[in-house]
Amino acid sequence: MDSISTDIHTASKTFLNEGMWIAIGQGFIKIIAIIFISGLIIRIGRLAIHNTFKLRNKSPLRVSERRETTLEKLLDNVVSYVVYFIAFMMILSTLTIDVKALLAGAGIVGLAIGFGAQNLVKDIISGFFIIFEDQFSVGDHIKVGQFEGNVEAIGLRTTKIKNWTGELHILPNGSISQVTNFSLNNSVGVVDVGIAYEEDIDKAEKVITELLEKLPEQYEQLIKAPELLGVQNLGPSEIVLRIVAETLPMQHFYIARMIRKEIKIALDENGIEIPFPRLVMYSRQDEGKEPGRE
């Protein structure tokens, strides 16, 4: 009983120790202050980054808007990660945890993991350079090896590409050695139109040219009026005229389909025939007979 009463007395004495509660209170206040100051620093850092890019937008020396957006988001993340890491270390120090020993142990563990995760490190480094160099961005249409489609997401480790049939390809960034980006520059649509040999080529070219000049008013995807280059080929049953149209990136497929439709309507309205396959049959038995005789 004496030992139990002694333990209770010691516990109550410790619980009522004013110095202990003061230390706990000071530690709690320090942690709250660290979290508050960290959030404030992150907000100030992000505001400074955004204002810097706004000033760059007004300067004559500018990079592409896509690249500025990518770099802006990347710097926001870097600032957040750095501040959160420092704040976490300060909180551990406030809780009387030996931060130096923790960092030393983390360094040894990280070194061991690094030897076993070389591909992961390669993916992260490659992902960083993809973002930093703005090789492609979310929404771009790209081709990587046998995979082609729109970029759905870019991470430091993987890139997600969705093709037009809906399949989502997830590629490690370290495996991306060569990329073809179709979204950086304007696209060019090519349309070949066949005209029958019996038709007046000059008339057909005039009808098509007048039509092409009106198309930019109907289709905002066109950069300028499509151009009729002239006769591209003399086919077995038709004269082929070639038309080229400069469009916004990756809009050339749609514009090419619309141009074919508009040209078909215009040629029909002007009585100009588009040739179609024909089959002529004759009998060799009738070759030696004179006209009018059986």
What's the domain count of the chain? 3
* Domain annotation covers residue 285: no
**Residue 65's CATH number:** 1.10.287.1260
CATH classification of the domain holding 160: 2.30.30.60
For residue 238, being part of any structural domain is answered with: yes
Domain boundary among 90, 116, 142: 116
Q: What is the reported pLDDT for 184?
A: 80
Domain for residue 282, yes or no? Answer: no
Q: Is residue 127, in this structure, part of any structural domain at all?
A: no
Q: How many CA atoms are closer than 13 Å to the CA of 12, on its beta-carbon side?
A: 6
CB 143 within 8 A of CB 179: yes
Question: 57 and 92: one domain?
Answer: yes
Place of tokens 């046998």: 146
Supply the pLDDT for residue 177. Answer: 83
* 280 domain residue, yes or no: no
- Residue ranges making up the domain that contains 59: 2-116
Looking at the structure, do residues 19 and 65 belong to the same domain, yes or no?
Answer: yes
Say yes or no: 73 and 20 in one domain: yes
Calculate ∠ Cα 17-19-21, nearest 5°: 75
Name residue 45's amino acid: G
pTM over 0.85: no
For residues 108 and 25, membership in a common domain is answered with yes
pLDDT at 243 (0 to 100): 92
- Same structural domain, 218 and 245: yes
Domain of 241, CATH number, reads 3.30.70.100
> pLDDT tens digits for the chain (294 residues)?
555 555 555 555 555 556 666 666 777 788 888 888 888 888 888 888 777 777 665 544 455 566 666 667 667 777 887 888 788 878 777 777 666 666 665 565 565 555 556 777 787 788 878 877 778 887 888 888 888 888 887 777 788 888 888 888 988 888 888 888 888 888 899 999 988 888 888 898 999 999 999 899 888 889 899 999 988 888 888 889 999 999 998 888 899 999 999 999 998 888 888 887 666 676 666 555 555 444
Whether residue 106 sits in one domain with residue 6: yes
Strands 147-154 and 187-196: unpaired
Check whether residue 205 and residue 138 sit in a common domain.
no
The pLDDT, as a whole number, for residue 275 is 80
The set of residues, in sequence order, having a beta carbon less than 8 Å from that of 226 and lying 6+ positions away, is 189, 191, 212, 215, 243, 244, 245, 246, 255, 259
Q: Are residues 9 and 104 in the same domain?
A: yes
Note whether 8 and 81 are same-domain residues.
yes
Residues 264 and 201 in one domain: yes
Q: What's the pLDDT at 256? A: 92
Asked whether the beta carbons of 284 and 215 are under 8 A apart, the reply is no
Does 242 fall in a domain? yes
- CA-nearest of 228, 173, 225, 231 to 206 is 228
Residue 293 lies in a domain: no
- Looking at the structure, tell me whether residues 76 and 111 fall in a common domain: yes
Whether residues 48 and 109 fall in one domain: yes
